[in-house]
Chains A and B, each alone.
Chain A
Amino acid sequence: MNQHLPVLLVVVPLVAAPIAALLNRPRLSWAVAVAATLWALYAALELLSQTMATGAIHYELGGWTAPYGIEYVVDAANAWVVVIVALIGALVTPYARKSVEQEITEDRIPLFYAAFILCLTGLLGIAVTGDVFNVFVFLEISSLSAYALIALGNDRRALTASFQYLIMGSVGATFIVIGIGLMYVMTGTLNMADLADRLPEVASSRTIPVAFTFLTVGITLKLALFPLHLWLPNAYTYAPSAVTAFIASTATKVAVYLLLRFFFTIFGATFSFDVMQLDRILMPLALIAIVTMSLVAIYQENVKRLLAYSSVAQIGYMVLGISFASVLGLTAGILHLFNHALMKGALFMSMGCIMYRVGSVRLEQMNGLGRAMPWTMAAFVVGGLSLIGVPLTVGFVSKWYLVQAALEQGMWPVAGVVLLGSLLALMYVWKVVEVAYFREVDPELGISEAPLSLLAPTWVLVLGNLYFGINASDGVGVATRAAEMLLGIL
């Protein structure tokens, strides 16, 4: 079975999704989702250890050899993406049971889990496939199910948020498929490795730069790089808590991974950065995202929306790291991809706990929660500190490498902006902390601590923030390997 793991990773959840829908019992559908996500986590970890031990795994779908058939590739760059997606999935599913029961009407819960598993399938698929058209297919699977998941939010504005995302997401997906189509016209292949071989011959044509441009815009729309982020705050704010926690820590990360794959593996760093001068557009946008979106976050009254804007700013950090196109920069970007998943997962999950007990995550409803829900707020504080980048948390490790990457190229102002971003993060995190700890809770509301099934997954991520912040060597090692591989140094 082991040699079929790359495909089983995707196929098992793909089959589980309709089963969850057909069973049509909330508890049973949930159980299927748990089984599917646990399987995905097992397969992901197994693939990671195989990749670390023996190098990249190539799997030919249906036995068709590589450039003609669809190939799945697991290497240093995506093994960790698969793990993080599966891990967040496996943590959100147990968390979702109670949270979803409260936020979604009972008859829709089986459909919720079906959509949830499909979304996971899509994201895993994007991460493991070595075929660009297959990327588009999985992108649509994950996106369509995400639109449905967001629309399930109990606030009516979830519908418009979902619709907004649908329009923007479809534009992005269309751009991506146009880019893929143009590449196919010029090279006659869809296999990533094959594309990488053939593109240099035709790179001087006008078509390839156009394809590159379409892909850049399409992917940056998906990963919500400023100013193409407009869909994100509403989607994150109005989606059900469990969905926000899942999508915020996985969907944009997979899009960032896609960016890395296209620019480094397929087009190559030389073409992307020397010929197309991608850094000239990515770096300013990333810096603007870090500063302006953090500033906007400071003024939010809804904490989920605050965290959503913070996500846009944090995506700026990842893209900034990538835009250095150096080993240190890529290491920083890849590290932040994982680290941000850990912090935002923890933060959005703690918001889900508050939603469960209080029914709102608006600041004025959070008075004195530090006392009423100590564990939930402690999780928020630790996640927030990680977001700020306090030492001994994962956030610090990202900052450490980002600043190094900037200093290495003598870009003082950029290093300054990275550190400034930390201070802005301090301001928006502390705004919440002050409300929760410096105001009195209204005793009539009778707010108590969230149930264990919500707290436990939250705290797994919180402890992850600390563990990987203190013992970051392994993570850094993997990220550096991935960076070197993407830059073609290995």
Chain B
Amino acid sequence: MDTNFVVGACLLLPVLGAFLVLILGSRPNVREAATLLTGGLTFWHVWGLLHHVREGARPRLELLEIVPGVQLAFEVEPLGLLFALVASFLWIVTTLYAIGYMRGHHEENQTRFFFFFAIAIAGALGVAFSANLFTLFAFYEVLTLCTFPLVTHHQTDEARKAGRVYLGILLTTSVAFQLLAIIWTWQLADTVDFTDGGILTGTASNGVLSAILVLFVFGVGKAAVMPFHRWLPAAMVAPTPVSALLHAVAVVKAGVFTVLKVAVYVFGIDLLGTLAATTWLAWVAAATIILGSLVAFQKDNLKARLAYSTISQLSYIVLGALLANEWGVIGGGMHIAMHAFGKITLFFAAGAVLVAAHEKDISRMHGLGRTMPITFGAFFVGSLSIIGLPPAGGSWSKWFLGMGTLEAGQVGLLAVLMLSSLLGLYYLLEVPVKAFFFRPPDGTDHDKGIKEAPLPSLIAIGITALATVGFFFWPDLWYELMTMVISGVAQ
């Protein structure tokens, strides 16, 4: 099959799926079948691209010239493919999960929910495959806007306020900083195409390029580098499947993906290493890692804790990019995949507890592990991956990130990674440990009716938990893709 066509199909299928959902809105079973079907087809097409990329090809699709010199164009390179694989696969799993969750939790407006969900995936794939900064920015904003109805799904006052924070921070940073950085880049380099080795080398002084880097790192609000992280906990008012897919995978990963992509293909890691701003931005990321963990520590609401943990983990990837060496990039890229699978498991589990036991707070989950062993077992596995312990995939990405810090000669940053893992050990494992080994406190009456979550949700949890373990033994795919990113740069 023509690769152009496949790239187009990857982007178009979710949109088609979205409209199928609209048409079939009145018949929930057919509607969900349509979502699963388009999800499956989308993933199949993305998977089909892997073969070409392995052979060194970069399938390209040029749609049209938006303004002279700037195209709406897509190019599949290894890093983008990695993100696309993760997002499109987890879309299927999340849909499965959402079927159980949305019905079990009696959510309203499910058609609208599945519609915008599909559009958001199209946005994420657009970000993944974009061939230049302009296209990336366009889909980045599409993703921001089409997730707004998902975040504010309940249409309550609380949702409205959270929606304001969400949209306010994401649009403000992207318009005020990121867009400025993009136009600045365009003026300096006369191109905004992602190119191996970067496009900015030698175009301006160290100071100017540093300023652009700062604008990029803070302008990508979705990467949630402090102090622009507030939107992420705010977005937790959304139904859990949204938090799971969008705020553990599609949206946040679109952010860190953008940072990595800019680091590798706009600056190039060689140039990045020479910039004055790189080191102190790395320390900003390090501070976010530690502060995020410390805040997570104090949250009793499980989703809030996971949100701060996400903020912390995202900065691992930002840090990986800013280490400006091969190990950092490999570790950062792999962490996109590893953290996605780990964190989505945790969110799934949190949602399952909410549906089955109607509990949001960790202190009220004591003893629940006995009635919901699969859920909390999966939570345990996911936690291991986030902390970076074997046998879970997260240990690989943390390992490479650690190597990156040493290569960069930043022992202090290595210490930060270690400390954060220790914190994670406590604030994540506290949940399953208390659920399995603690007695329910007096007064919380977990009546006998509590069972495991609905079956579709349980299957979804099982898939992601198994994958998390599987990636410890077979991390090859992600590693291979990331080495291709690096070797492309080295050429």
Contact = CB atoms under 8 A, between A and B. Distances in A.
Contacts of B171: 388, 423, 426
Contact of B68 (A388, A407, A423, A473): A473
A392 B187 contact: no
Contacts of A403: 179-180, 183
Interface string B153-187: 00101011001100110011001100110011011
Contact of A391 (B141, B160, B163): B141
Contacts of B152: 438
A390 B157 CA distance: 26
Residue in A385, A388, A392, A422 whose Cβ sees the most chain B Cβ within 10 Å: A392
A426 B164 CA distance: 10
A383 to B, nearest CB: 14
A404 B183 contact: yes
B390 to A, nearest CB: 43
Contact of A470 (B64, B186, B187): B64
B65 interface: yes
A471 B66 contact: yes
A390 B145 contact: yes
A430 B176 CA distance: 18
Contact of B184 (A399, A407, A476, A477): A407
Interface in A389-448: 389-392, 397, 399-401, 403-404, 407-408, 415-416, 419-420, 422-423, 426, 430, 434, 437-438
Contacts of B68: 473, 476-477, 480
Contacts of A416: 176, 180
A472 interface: yes
B180 A415 contact: yes
Given A423-B175, A438-B160, A391 B67 contact: no
B160 A434 contact: yes
Q: Describe A's contact surface by its main secondary structure.
A: helix
A470 B138 CA distance: 10
A460 B441 CA distance: 62
Nearest to A480: B68
Interface residues of A, number: 32
B67 A423 contact: no
B113 interface: no
Contacts of A404: 183, 186-187
B16 interface: no
Contacts of B186: 404
A471 B179 contact: no
Nearest to B64: A471
Given A415-B180, A470-B66, A430 B72 contact: no
A330 to B, nearest CB: 15
A407 B137 contact: no
A480 B160 CA distance: 42
Contacts of A407: 183-184, 187
25 contacts: A389-B175, A391-B138, A392-B138, A397-B66, A397-B67, A399-B179, A401-B67, A403-B183, A404-B186, A408-B187, A416-B176, A420-B176, A423-B171, A423-B175, A423-B176, A426-B168, A434-B164, A438-B152, A438-B159, A470-B66, A470-B72, A471-B65, A471-B66, A472-B66, A477-B68
Interface of A: 385, 388-392, 397, 399-401, 403-404, 407-408, 415-416, 419-420, 422-423, 426, 430, 434, 437-438, 470-473, 476-477, 480
Counting from the closest, the 9 A-B pairs by CB-CB distance are A391-B138, A473-B65, A438-B160, A403-B183, A476-B67, A472-B67, A419-B176, A422-B175, A391-B141
Given A392-B138, A426-B168, A476-B67, 16 more contacts: A385-B145, A391-B137, A392-B141, A392-B142, A401-B67, A403-B183, A404-B186, A416-B180, A423-B171, A426-B167, A434-B163, A437-B155, A438-B160, A472-B67, A473-B67, A473-B68
